[in-house]
Amino acid sequence: MSQWCFSQLDTWFFREARPYIFPPPARTVAGAVRTLIGEQAEVDWEAFNKGDGTAHQLSKDINICQEIGDANSFGNLRLRGIYLLCEGQRLYPVPLCLLQKDEQFTRLRPGAPVECDLGFVRLPEQTIPGAKPMETAWLTAQALKQVLAGQNPSSYYQSEDLFKIEPRLGIAINQERRTMEDGMLYQNQHIRLREDKFQLEIGVMVEGIDDALHPETGRVRFGGEGRLASVTVSRSNLPQLGHPDLSKTKNIMLTLLSPANLGENWQPDGFSEVIENNEKVWRGSINGVELTIISAVLGQPIREGGWDLANDEPREVISLIPAGSVWFCRLEKGNAADLHGYQIGLETALGRGELAVGIW
């Protein structure tokens, strides 16, 4: 496993259904990783698109098609992340159960059962009116571990301290006449990392492929408008995120460290609705650990599409459960620690659906 770090040479532009998205979509990062691997190996892309995985300058024992996949699969390539690095430390989204008003913290927890359009369920309740989720804040591993243990974070970063949004105005050009196109004025938003304050990078862990395919350094187009990123690859792993003591309670929470593709569901696959003491709950298992989902705090879905270069057409837009979303669960059987770092849902090769376990 290697860590790939993408450093900014200019502003970056990432666009999906929202004006901008950051950190960048997983497919954007995966595309940059595959492109740089191919360029370093001097892959014949025309032959590659026809299924010839040996048309490169490395050992012919390496089949590039099997290693990095094609338009429909990722082969042996596996990503973990994608995350923002500040001074070499991974930053995490704040779990949506943690709220703040002014400088005061509070938490959402399952309340008493109420009758609503969902049935007789336990909805999340807060104790401080007007407190809001910290959706634009980021935590270090130490601060996130505090939140997972039911404590308040000792520190956090706000998005404006880490990056800023720069509006850009442009107009389409007629390439044949070298003149401006009438009525083709456009505006977009670029992201500039606040490198005047911190050393900031985008990081991703890459595994599954032959060691010979990992470059040491390189440059690659990253996101829209052909913007460049400088890439540094190291064999050192990030320290593992710790979890709190899970042995003293059955009340655990699962929070997403990366967006999850759960298809059309809001809960992980394999959970079904049951009635318990007249309450509606959901029972199932993840990685052999049996759970009952009591309540949840889910963020606004992320709409992600992209462009299919191989077939020269747009990808189908899908909805993702955002990072920071939380499920309040009761442990029924198994070791809750087995869920820490586990991935749920579809497209886990893209790093989607990484879980962290805490208590509530």
- List, for residues 304-320, the tens digit of each pLDDT value: 887 777 777 888 889 99
Residues 265, 204 share a domain: no
Predicted confidence (pLDDT) at residue 186 exceeds the cutoff of 80: no
Split into its structural domains, the chain has a count of 2
H or E stretch at 68: helix 64-68
Tokens representing 297? 């705090």
Q: What is the per-residue pLDDT for 316? A: 86
Residues 263, 223 share a domain: no
Q: What is the per-residue pLDDT for 148? A: 98
Q: State how far the Cα of 274 lies from the Cα of 289, in Å rounded to an integer.
A: 18
Comparing 164 with 237, the larger pLDDT belongs to 164
How far is residue 124 from each of residues 93, 94, 177, 244, measured CA to CA in Å?
Answer: 19, 17, 60, 22
Residues 250, 229 share a domain: no
Residues 204, 64 share a domain: yes
Sheet of strand 200-207: strand arrangement: 157-158, 137-139, 89-93, 78-86, 200-207, 2-8, 228-234, 217-221
Look at residues 234, 257, 286 and tell me which one is the last residue of a structural domain.
Answer: 234
Burial class (CB in 10 A: 0-12, 13-18, 19+), 38: middle
Residues 81, 197 share a domain: yes
Look at residues 234, 268, 286 and tell me which one is the last residue of a structural domain.
Answer: 234
Residues 64, 10 share a domain: yes
Q: Is residue 72 part of a domain?
A: yes
- Tens of pLDDT, residues 268-279: 999 999 999 999
- Tens of pLDDT, residues 101-158: 998 999 999 999 999 988 999 999 988 999 999 999 999 999 999 999 999 999 999 9
Q: What is the per-residue pLDDT for 9? A: 92
Residues 353, 229 share a domain: no
Q: Is residue 123 part of a domain?
A: no
Angle ∠(165,14,306) on CA atoms, nearest 5: 155
Q: Is the pTM of this model over 0.85?
A: yes
pLDDT > 70 fraction of the chain, expressed in percent and rounded: 97
Q: State how far the Cα of 289 lies from the Cα of 131, in Å rounded to an integer.
A: 33
Residues 69, 39 share a domain: yes
Q: What is the per-residue pLDDT for 18? A: 55
Q: State how far the Cα of 245 lies from the Cα of 242, in Å rounded to an integer.
A: 10
Q: Is residue 173 part of a domain?
A: no
Q: Is residue 164 part of a domain?
A: no
Q: What is the per-residue pLDDT for 112? A: 94
Residue 9 is part of which domain span?
Answer: 2-90+190-234
Q: Is residue 178 part of a domain?
A: no
- Tens of pLDDT, residues 190-213: 889 998 899 999 999 999 999 999
What is the overall mean pLDDT for the chain? 91
Residues 325, 228 share a domain: no
Residues 248, 228 share a domain: no
- Tens of pLDDT, residues 2-35: 999 999 998 888 875 554 567 899 999 999 999 9
Q: Is residue 19 part of a domain?
A: yes
Residues 335, 194 share a domain: no
Residue with tokens 């999850």: 260
H or E stretch at 170: strand 163-174
Q: Is residue 351 part of a domain?
A: yes
pLDDT tier at 343, thresholds 50, 70, 90: very high
Q: What is the per-residue pLDDT for 321? A: 96
CATH of the domain at 355: 2.60.40.4350
Residues 344, 322 share a domain: yes
Q: Is residue 183 part of a domain?
A: no
Burial class (CB in 10 A: 0-12, 13-18, 19+), 333: exposed
Predicted confidence (pLDDT) at residue 60 exceeds the cutoff of 60: yes
Look at residues 204, 234, 264 and tell me which one is the last residue of a structural domain.
Answer: 234
